Amino acid sequence: MFGSIGGPEIFLILVLALIVLGPRRLPELGRALGRAVAEFRRATAEFREGVERELDLDPMRQAGREIVRARREIAELARAPARALSRELAKEAQTGQGADLAAGSIAPPMPPAETVAKNPPAEDAPACEAPPSGLDPEPSLPLE
């Protein structure tokens, strides 16, 4: 409460006050000090309420609560399809319907690799000559 002042220091201050002020004025000083502390606490509470009123924190707190609630709802909506799918899969696994449905939807197998390899390869296409470009391969002007 008093920072670095401990019990022995406070006791020393009280003894000095008793010696300096005397036993008659010490209770009056204690009451005055108590009133001052109470008034200080009342003033700080009033100041805090005034600041909160000016800042109007209640709508901000309400908006924060609404954001948290909306975030939870969105997360729940995101999880709902996965839960429904896992329930359906578990239900199909218990009844055995999933295997029957899956068997009908599989395409027939590909032919074995041996039959594919027996097909003859395609013939090579004849090579084409480059079309004439109309340019003379020899330069017409001598280069020096």
Q: Give tens-digit pLDDT for 100-140.
A: 555 556 667 776 666 555 666 667 766 666 556 665 556 56
Mean pLDDT of 73-84: 89
Q: List C-alpha distances in Å: 3 to 11, 17, 35, 57, 124.
A: 15, 20, 21, 32, 98
How much is the pTM? 0.34
- Kindly report, residue by residue over 13-70, the tens digit of the pLDDT: 888 888 888 888 888 888 999 999 999 999 999 999 998 888 777 777 888 899 999 9
Residues 6+ apart with CB under 8 A from 26: 17, 18
Spatial CB neighbours of 2, under 8 Å, sequence gap ≥ 6:
10
Domain residues of the chain, as ranges? 19-55, 58-92
Give every CB contact of residue 10 below 8 A, 6+ residues apart in sequence: 2
User: What is the pLDDT at residue 73?
Assistant: 94
The pLDDT, as a whole number, for residue 118 is 60
Cα–Cα distances in angstroms (integers) from residue 4 to residues 1, 9, 10, 14, in the given order: 9, 9, 11, 17
Q: Tell me how far apart the alpha carbons of residues 50 and 44 are, in angstroms, rounded to a whole number.
A: 10
